[in-house]
Amino acid sequence: MILNIRIDHKTADINKIEESTRNMDEIFANIQHDHQVQEYVQVKTCNRAEIYMVLDEAPYIISGED
């Protein structure tokens, strides 16, 4: 399974991107702990942050949206 976690300038301002990037690092660490991450790449620029992962199975993720 391929999983992408991202935030960019279209969905948030720069302050929210910076804050969310720290949260993404924590989420990524949790996924690595709970699942076999076969491959991954992180992309961080001034207007976006993304993590692409290849996992052995689909993780159970709570989106944070109500």
Q: Could you list the active site residues?
A: 46
Contact 1, 57 (CB under 8 A): yes
Closest CA to 25 of 49, 60, 54, 56: 49
Q: How far apart are CA 5 and CA 27, in angstroms?
A: 9
